Structure 1
């Protein structure tokens, strides 16, 4: 026995329309931005620590 939709056939959404509606941020872009911020924080903390310890010239050699 087959059933039918009383409201009629369900229209299909073209792929290009579905892509246009997806305007949210890309997760991989958000992750890359977040990791970039973490890297910048780590670099600034390390450089600040080395400057306070008087090892700033050695840090330039390590990079």
Structure 2
């Protein structure tokens, strides 16, 4: 299943797993020009929820 077609909870879970593995210092959810692409419109709620999940988990 493609990321954009995945249910929100599954997409968030997959991104949380990546955040835990790679432990980035920042997460950017917009393109280099601040534009709203089709990918961004799907990615923003997923990345926001994943980042919040990691903050709550304290990892």
TM > 0.5: no
Larger radius of gyration between Structure 1 and Structure 2: 1
Bigger relative contact order (CA 8 A; separation at least 6): 2
